[in-house]
């Protein structure tokens, strides 16, 4: 068992004929994910990924023909907001947006619309989802993960891979690895994912990887104190980040003196969450 | 991207926000002409992208054109928090009866814009949030409904604004929100918004921060970027599509991925060193990209060692290793280089590095890599090799 994506995921790929879209679709198929359709406006009727995936002009046509229940978006930033809205209007209940660089104000409108429709968005600017042995949706390298009982949730990409790989090397498997994304406005927060892991019978522990900026980690700490029974290990990147500078991710910035790593670490420690000093300590903290 | 006060105020004015008459000068002579044109006392305001200009002596009153010329000359020679003053704004001086704060920001937790107002104008909002949070009133804005007049009334009453000013306040608040939307801002603020002796509302100071991701929609604004907002290296990195932030340590960090880059900086500090930069080279780690990044890192004279930390995910470590080698061959750095490759094909990657005639230190774990880099930066080659 896993959260968000599993063997029953029927995936629609938006932007499937783009360089990233096609490459990662191949990778997802090789991992065993059911990639049932793709969308690229103007390329309807073609086939992608060596003739294995039918391409449609619109998400609505793709959903009608394929019964897709999840979508992944690889569309360039200036068109990505439209792609997300299109998937939502086509009736897709779970949309994973990989695209980086979507204007914040586009995401404010998208998020308000999706909330009203009850559609879940993961991302944007995220590596996607990986339920080891079941399905992968996004760009995470599949072979670094292994099935097990630890849930992983992170705002980062390669830092997540590093941690997942370290867990795997220590013989600690994962239920699902969730990249929630590094932007200021995201569809799914730490609290949302913690709640899913708390309710997932196979997840026994959770690793949370946060970073500077915003206060999502502080809310996660409150949620852990009030609602979680499963142990959580945390790591926060950006202890040495200067204020007022964006550290790569649009959302990784200390603004007006808030969003520092120190505040986030203190919030977790105050509720009894172990916080790793550096990523390689995480496997020890999980197994202890 | 940050805009200057004069740029922000002009954009606000285009959306119906009243601002004082004023003009920008780059020389004392220009300042004198502007003061003559405006007539009467003027405020001479340094245009630099940092807060606390007033306290630093960068905002001064001048009664006559002669005085304006003299004051402008003094301010134009100043440095404020390390930034040289290249421009001054001369505004008609106003008779201030009341100062208000009014701003719009993106509230990440509410995932919507929020408008804030405070009766403590002229003070930084973060300062008010610390000392007197009750003074700040907020309304959350629905992106589909926009800012409504009942919301601006709630703010006006909340900060104790007299009834006669509420219509003007509503017009200004809605103008500010329109400007925030129109230019893809992440922050738009008027601080202070004043009530003059004549009973008018006037935005005497303005600030706007634009969302870099929205700049493609505003090529005209993108050109307004101030040279002092970034270091020359940061600008070169941005133009090369690399994410780079200069710091003041001695260990140059080259990493793929923003989160991993931060974690790499942190671990150098953990082991007693200090990072010289944040640098995310993105996916792929192609030789050309690595070479550009390496050149940027080595342009910083403080750098005493370079730490490569690369996670091979979809990209294989052996490919990355060949990219790193090609870059090292091209650049030939004179400082020690520590390379750590982990993930897909890491053993093959390390083998590629070992075949190289270029002398570098390799490490299997991040902790080992950081310790070696810290030791190497101290000139402790012995320790670096043996640890």
Mean pLDDT of A1-14: 95
Domain shared by B13 and B40, yes or no:
no
Secondary structure class of B85 (helix, strand, coil): coil
Confidence (pLDDT) at B347: 85
Confidence (pLDDT) at B368: 95
Question: What is the per-residue pLDDT across B185-228, written as a single tens digit (0 to 9) for each?
Answer: 999 999 999 999 999 999 999 999 999 999 999 999 988 888 88
**What pTM, to 2 d.p., does this model score?**
0.94
In a domain, residue A129? The reply is no
Q: Which of B248, B259, B310 to mutate to test the interface with A (most CBs of A within 10 A)?
A: B259
Q: Rounded distance, CA B341 to CA B111, Å?
A: 38
Beta-carbon count within 10 A of B358 CB: 13
Domain shared by A78 and A196, yes or no:
no
Question: What is the per-residue pLDDT across A43-102, written as a single tens digit (0 to 9) for each?
Answer: 999 999 999 999 999 999 999 999 999 999 999 999 999 999 999 999 999 999 999 999
Confidence (pLDDT) at B302: 94
Q: Which residue has the higher pLDDT, B152 or B322?
A: B152
Show the domain range for A81. 10-122
Secondary structure class of B74 (helix, strand, coil): helix
Residue B375 makes CB contacts below 8 A (sequence gap 6+) with: B381, B383, B384, B387
Show the domain range for B150. 1-19+96-229
If pLDDT is split at 50, 70 and 90, which confidence band does B384 have? very low
The verdict on B126 touching A (C-beta cutoff 8 Å) is: yes
Interface of B with A in 20-79 (CB under 8 A): none
Instruction: Name the minimum distance, in Å, from the CA of A269 to any CA of chain B.
Output: 18
pLDDT > 60? residue B381: no
Mean pLDDT of B340-353: 87
A161: domain CATH number is: 3.40.50.261
Domain shared by B322 and B376, yes or no:
yes
Q: How far lies A128's CA from each of A158, A188, A252, B9, B326, in Å?
A: 12, 11, 18, 41, 32
Interface of A with B in 162-221 (CB under 8 A): 162, 165, 182, 184-185, 209, 211-212, 214-216, 219
B273: domain CATH number is: 3.40.50.261
Domain count, chain B: 3
Whether B195 contacts B230, CB under 8 Å: no
Confidence (pLDDT) at A288: 64
Beta-carbon count within 10 A of B204 CB: 26
Look at strands B96-107 and B112-118 and give their pairing: antiparallel
Q: Which residue has the higher pLDDT, B284 or B60?
A: B60
Domain shared by B108 and B163, yes or no:
yes
State the burial class of residue B10 (Cβ atoms within 10 Å of its Cβ: 0-12, 13-18, 19+): middle
The verdict on B231 touching A (C-beta cutoff 8 Å) is: no
Domain shared by B124 and B9, yes or no:
yes
pLDDT > 70? residue B382: no
If pLDDT is split at 50, 70 and 90, which confidence band does A1 have? low
Q: Rounded distance, CA B174 to CA B169, Å?
A: 9
Mean pLDDT of A233-245: 95
Beta-carbon count within 10 A of B357 CB: 6
Domain shared by A177 and A105, yes or no:
no
Q: How far lies B279's CA from each of A51, A246, B81, B306, B310, in Å?
A: 39, 11, 25, 12, 12
Secondary structure class of A70 (helix, strand, coil): strand
Question: What is the per-residue pLDDT across B91-138, written as a single tens digit (0 to 9) for each?
Answer: 999 999 999 999 999 999 999 999 999 999 988 888 898 899 999 999
Domain shared by B67 and B107, yes or no:
no
Look at strands B201-203 and B112-118 and give their pairing: unpaired
Q: Which residue has the higher pLDDT, B223 or A223?
A: A223
Domain shared by A117 and A158, yes or no:
no
Domain count, chain A: 2
Domain shared by A113 and A147, yes or no:
no
Domain shared by A77 and A201, yes or no:
no
Which ipTM score applies to this complex? 0.93
Domain shared by A177 and A110, yes or no:
no
Q: Which of A237, A234, A239 lies closest to A274, judged by CA?
A: A234
Whether A179 contacts A156, CB under 8 Å: yes
Task: Verify whether the Cβ–Cβ distance B367 to A278 is below 8 Å.
Answer: yes
Domain shared by B80 and B185, yes or no:
no
In a domain, residue A4? The reply is no
Domain shared by B88 and B35, yes or no:
yes
In a domain, residue A130? The reply is no
Angle at which helices B258-270 and A158-169 pack, to 10 degrees? 70
Instruction: Name the minimum distance, in Å, from the CA of A163 to any CA of chain B.
Output: 10
| Structure tokens given for A238 | 């950006």
Secondary structure class of B120 (helix, strand, coil): coil
pLDDT > 60? residue A223: yes
Q: Which of B263, B267, B293 to mutate to test the interface with A (most CBs of A within 10 A)?
A: B263
Q: Which residue has the higher pLDDT, B222 or B9?
A: B9
Domain shared by B372 and B241, yes or no:
yes
Domain shared by A146 and A283, yes or no:
yes
In a domain, residue A198? The reply is yes
Q: Which of B67, B92, B101, B250 is catalytic?
A: B101
In a domain, residue A1? The reply is no
The verdict on A87 touching B (C-beta cutoff 8 Å) is: no
Backbone angles phi, psi at B69, to 5 degrees: -65, -45
pLDDT > 50? residue B385: no
Which one of B93, B109, B138 terminates a domain?
Answer: B93
Mean pLDDT of A161-186: 96
Task: Verify whether the Cβ–Cβ distance A278 to B263 is below 8 Å.
Answer: yes
Question: Chain A residue with minimal CA distance to B366?
Answer: A280
If pLDDT is split at 50, 70 and 90, which confidence band does B386 have? very low
pLDDT > 70? residue A230: yes
Domain shared by B8 and B65, yes or no:
no
B106: domain CATH number is: 3.30.470.20
Domain shared by B26 and B55, yes or no:
yes
Question: What is the per-residue pLDDT across B163-174, written as a single tens digit (0 to 9) for each?
Answer: 999 999 999 999
Domain shared by B259 and B371, yes or no:
yes
Domain shared by B206 and B130, yes or no:
yes
A115: domain CATH number is: 3.40.50.720
Mean pLDDT of B233-241: 86
Q: Rounded distance, CA B339 to CA B372, Å?
A: 10
Domain shared by A113 and A187, yes or no:
no
3-state SS, one letter per residue, for A179-197: ECCCCCCCCCCHHHHHHHH
Give the helix ranges, DSSP H, for chain A: 19-31, 59-66, 77-89, 104-117, 158-169, 190-199, 216-227, 261-270, 282-287
Which one of B93, B115, B139 terminates a domain?
Answer: B93
In a domain, residue A44? The reply is yes
Confidence (pLDDT) at B285: 64
pLDDT > 60? residue A152: yes
B29: domain CATH number is: 3.30.1490.20
Closest to A248 (Cβ–Cβ): which among B258, B266, B268?
B258
Confidence (pLDDT) at B44: 98
Q: Which of A190, A154, A182 lies closest to A282, judged by CA?
A: A154
Question: Chain A residue with minimal CA distance to B275?
Answer: A240
If pLDDT is split at 50, 70 and 90, which confidence band does B292 have? confident
Whether A122 contacts A96, CB under 8 Å: yes
Domain shared by A211 and A263, yes or no:
yes
Which one of B51, B74, B93 terminates a domain?
Answer: B93
Domain shared by A69 and A151, yes or no:
no
Domain shared by A245 and A195, yes or no:
yes
If pLDDT is split at 50, 70 and 90, which confidence band does B346 have? confident
Beta-carbon count within 10 A of B351 CB: 13
A205's enclosing H/E stretch is strand A205-211
Q: What is the mean pLDDT of chain A?
A: 96
Q: What is the mean pLDDT of chain B?
A: 92
For Cα atoms B225, B228, B229, give the angle at the middle one, nearest 5 degrees: 60
pLDDT > 80? residue A251: yes
Domain shared by A109 and A148, yes or no:
no
In a domain, residue A2? The reply is no
pLDDT > 60? residue B387: no
If pLDDT is split at 50, 70 and 90, which confidence band does A36 have? very high
Which one of A122, A156, A173 terminates a domain?
Answer: A122
pLDDT-wise least confident of A107-111, B82-86, B195-199: B82-86
Whether A164 contacts A152, CB under 8 Å: yes
């Amino acid at each position: 068992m896993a959260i968000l994506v599993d063997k029953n995921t029927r995936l629609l790929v938006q932007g499937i004929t783009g360089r990233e879209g096609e490459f990662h679709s191949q990778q997802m198929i090789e991992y065993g994910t059911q990639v049932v359709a793709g969308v690229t406006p103007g390329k309807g009727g073609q086939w992608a990924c060596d003739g294995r995936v039918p391409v449609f002009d619109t998400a609505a046509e793709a959903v009608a023909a394929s019964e897709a229940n999840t979508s992944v978006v690889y569309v360039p930033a200036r068109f990505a907001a439209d792609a997300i809205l299109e998937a939502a209007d086509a009736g897709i209940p779970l949309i994973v947006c990989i695209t980086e660089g979507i204007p914040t104000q586009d995401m404010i409108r998208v998020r308000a619309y999706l909330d009203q429709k009850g559609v879940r968005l993961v991302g944007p600017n995220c590596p996607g989802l990986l339920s080891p042995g079941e399905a992968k949706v996004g760009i995470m390298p599949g072979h670094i993960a292994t099935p097990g009982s630890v849930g992983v949730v992170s705002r980062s990409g390669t830092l997540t891979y590093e941690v997942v790989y370290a867990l795997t090397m220590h013989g600690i498997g994962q239920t699902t690895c969730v990249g929630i994304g590094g932007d200021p406005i995201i569809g799914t927060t730490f609290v949302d994912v913690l709640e899913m892991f708390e309710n997932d019978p196979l997840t026994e522990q959770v690793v949370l990887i946060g970073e500077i900026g915003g206060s999502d980690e502080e809310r996660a700490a409150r949620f852990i104190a009030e609602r979680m029974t499963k142990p959580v290990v945390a790591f926060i990147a950006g202890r040495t980040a200067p204020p007022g500078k964006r550290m790569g991710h649009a959302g990784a910035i200390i603004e007006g003196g808030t969003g520092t790593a120190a505040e986030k670490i203190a919030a977790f420690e105050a509720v009894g969450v172990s916080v790793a000093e550096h990523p390689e300590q995480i496997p020890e903290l999980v197994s202890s | 991207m940050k805009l200057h006060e004069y740029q922000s105020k002009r954009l606000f004015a285009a959306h119906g926000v009243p601002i004082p008459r004023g003009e920008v000068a780059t020389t004392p002579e220009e300042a004198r002409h502007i003061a003559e044109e405006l007539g009467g006392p003027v405020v001479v305001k340094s245009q630099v992208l940092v807060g606390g200009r007033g306290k630093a002596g960068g905002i001064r009153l001048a009664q006559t054109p002669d005085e304006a010329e003299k004051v402008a000359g003094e301010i134009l020679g100043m440095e404020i928090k390390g930034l040289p003053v290249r421009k001054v704004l001369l505004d008609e001086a106003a008779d201030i009866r009341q100062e208000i704060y009014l701003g719009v920001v993106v509230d990440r937790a509410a995932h919507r814009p929020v408008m804030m107002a405070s009766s403590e104008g002229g003070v930084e909002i973060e300062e008010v949030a610390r000392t007197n949070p009750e003074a700040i009133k907020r309304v959350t804005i629905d992106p589909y409904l926009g800012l409504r007049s009942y919301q601006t009334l709630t703010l006006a009453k909340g900060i104790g604004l007299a009834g006669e000013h509420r219509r003007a306040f509503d017009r200004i608040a809605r103008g500010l929100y329109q400007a925030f939307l129109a230019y893809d801002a992440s922050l738009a603020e008027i601080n202070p918004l004043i009530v003059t002796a004549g009973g008018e509302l006037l935005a005497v100071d303005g600030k706007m921060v634009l969302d870099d991701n929205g700049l493609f929609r505003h090529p005209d604004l993108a050109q307004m970027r101030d040279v002092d907002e970034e270091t020359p290296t940061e600008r070169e990195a941005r133009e090369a599509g690399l994410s780079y932030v200069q710091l003041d340590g001695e260990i140059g960090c080259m990493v793929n991925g923003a989160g991993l880059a931060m974690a790499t900086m942190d671990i150098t500090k953990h082991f007693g060193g200090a990072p010289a930069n944040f640098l995310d080279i993105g996916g792929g780690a192609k030789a050309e990209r690595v070479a550009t990044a390496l050149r940027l890192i080595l342009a910083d004279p403080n750098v005493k060692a370079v730490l490569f930390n690369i996670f091979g995910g979809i990209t294989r470590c052996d490919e990355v290793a060949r990219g790193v080698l090609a870059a090292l061959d091209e650049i030939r750095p004179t400082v020690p280089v520590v390379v750590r490759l982990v993930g897909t094909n890491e053993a093959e990657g390390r083998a590629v590095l070992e075949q190289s005639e270029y002398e570098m230190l390799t490490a299997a774990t991040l902790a080992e890599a950081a310790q070696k880099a810290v030791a190497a930066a101290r000139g402790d080659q012995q320790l670096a090799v043996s640890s």
